[in-house]
Structure formats: C-alpha cells, structure tokens
Amino acid sequence: MEIVIQPPEVNTIRIIDSHTGGEPTRVVIGGFPDLGLGSIARKQKVFQAEYDHYRQALVNEPRGSDIQIGALLVPSDDPLCLTGVIFFNNIGYLGMCGHGTMGILAVLSHLGKINPGPHRLDTSVGIVTATLHEDGSVSVQNVPGYRYRKQASVQIDGEKGSGDIAWGGNWFFLCDAPSIDLIPRNTEALIDYTWKIRHALCAHGITGKDGQEIDHIELSGPSPNSEADSRNFVLCPGKAYDRSPCGTGTSAKLCCLFKDGKLKQGQIWRQESIVGTIFEGSIKQINSQLIPTIKGIAFVNATTDLILNPEDPFCWGIPTE
C-alpha cells in the first residue's frame, strides 16, 4: 500500500500528530527524502547518517519538544507488511515504540487507509502486528521480549539498589520506586532519581545483551487506582518521561512478571502511567519465545505541513548540545 502523501509544496513535510495515553507521536507521511532500498535497520542508518537534521527539525524545538516521538513511514521489503517505520526522539532513534505504533494506526485509520483488523508493521528490531479494533483501540503484538538479567546490582546515590534488565523492543532497567510517590507532582524528583540510575549503569558498564546501552529506566509502584495492577514512571533516553505507560516498557515488565511466576499466559495486566492512563498487557509463550501484547488507544489531534525555510535560523531545530 502507498502510504506516502506528498505535500503540495517543496520544503514542506506533511505530518499527523496524535497522542496515546498523553504521549505524543508525530507521524511523517510525506515530503521526507528517499532513504533508498534495504531493510528498515539499513534505512534507519541512512536516516541517521545523512538526514539527522530532519529528525531535529521534526521533533525538537521550536516545532516539537523533548517529549515528542517521531515515526517516519517508509516502504518495507516485506510484501506482507502494511508499512515500515523508523521511530525517533529528541536525541536519536528507537527500536520499537508501542504508543507510537498505536498512533500510526490511528493516523492511517483517520486517513481512511486501513480498516479494523490486523496490520503488520516492519520496525528496525522486527515485525509487529497491530490490530485496529472497531472502537479505535489498538492491540500491538510486539517483537519477542525477554529478561536478560534478574536483579542486577547498581549503586544509586551511594546506596545499593537492584533491578531487572529486560528487552521489550528497547532496553529497560526495571526496579521498584524509591520512597517517592509516583504522582505527577514528583516528576522532577523522579527524573533526577532515574537519571542517576541511567548514569550509574553507564559508569559501571551494566548493559543489555551484546553491550547494548540500557536507555530506558522504569520504576514500578502501587497505583491509587483500583483498576490498575501497577503504576510506572518511565524515563526515556533524552531525559523526557513517558506520559503513557510505555508499550515497550510494559512489554519488558510482562516478561519479568511471567518469569517470576506473577503473570500467567493470557492473563491481563493493567499498567498505569504516571498521568493515570492505562495499557492492558498480556503475554504468550511460543516455543521458548515470550510474545507480549499491549492494548491502548490513540487520538489524532493535528494535521500539519511543517515548513523548512532556509532563511529560518532554527529551520533544523534548536541544537540540543
């Protein structure tokens, strides 16, 4: 299917914005340079090497903000896939993005390009199947997840702490919340705390598989909402926190719960975010693989053509470094 819709003018990029549980996704549907042929991972490398200034123009200030996630739709080599997608943020690129995948389906439905049912999307870390339901909600069957290390030790503020290291399409360090309540009023303290964990992991060479950087930190705690099983706070790579319960973070959490015998196959886990939005998650085991599915809903809130004016000193965003 041809998703790309060219904007009417050169030097414009056509985007559609949405949010999923409060977390924004900016889907790029036209006006982006051709990234050539090959896998999504290869196209992502070309994006990074040759067009990183487009990433900055799309998600950084003055057009975006630190919390903005971008999703560039690109053709997939796999004829069974609806589209390929490259996810990016204020500092770089993401493997998978759960809330962003829900946003893409909401956008394609808004454009009349898809009907309810399952749709395969090709990401740089593998194929996911996202099902659009009649009520607009979306279930994302993610790439296989796993717990890489149980209760890895790390010094946080001179005190010994520990957490699980797990893959859910991105790398996560998952630990219990400290004595700071997981409520919006405490976001600054929670950012400080999780940023210290992030630095401690780097300083002590604690990584995911094959030395991959753990760039998301997920705190879990009780929820004041009796409908949720837990509330989380997820620090994203560029120091923004996820307003949604984080699809890949929830996937990583489901794998840990399953391994600890706290969640059975098919059992629903209701993961709440710091702002009170919920994803429903479940896990199934196929042979030795754990396949997480997460369900939520995204709302389209803007359709825009961004203008790339060479006279504008911040045409390519305000530099972040």
Question: Which 8-state DSSP code applies to residue 263?
Answer: S
143 counts as binding ligand PYC under rule CB under 6 A: no
Cα–chain center distance at 158:
31
- Contact indicator for 122, 85 with CB cutoff of 8 Å: yes
Write down the least CB distance from residue 293 to ligand PYC, Å: 13
Q: Does 97 bind ligand PYC (CB under 6 A)?
A: yes
Catalytic residue check, 97: yes
Choose between 31 and 86: whose C-beta lies nearer to ligand PYC.
86
Go through the chain and tell me how many residues it has. Answer: 321
* Active site (annotated) includes residue 246: yes
Judged by CB under 6 A, the stretch of 54-62, 92-100, 155-163, 179-187 that binds ligand PYC is 92-100
Q: Who's near 36: CB < 8 A, 6+ residues apart?
A: 42, 43, 46
Q: Which two tokens stand for residue 56?
A: 């900055």
Q: Binder to ligand PYC among 18, 123, 232, 244 (CB under 6 A)?
A: 244
Query: 2 CB contacts (<8 Å, ≥6 apart)?
Result: none
Residue 69 binds ligand PYC (CB under 6 A): yes
Closest separation between CB of residue 59 and ligand PYC, Å?
Answer: 12
Residues 184-243, interacting with ligand PYC (CB under 6 A): 236, 242
Strand 230-235 with 269-272, pairing = parallel
Decide if residue 75 touches ligand PYC (CB under 6 A): no
Q: Of 14 and 243, which has the nearer Cβ to ligand PYC? A: 243
Q: Which of 24, 98, 292, 317 binds ligand PYC (CB under 6 A)?
A: 98
Classify strands 216-221 and 171-176 as parallel, antiparallel or unpaired.
parallel
Nearest to 40 by CA among 97, 91, 90, 111: 97
Q: Which residues are catalytic?
A: 97, 246
Interface positions with ligand PYC (CB under 6 A): 23, 69, 94, 97-99, 236, 242, 244, 246-248
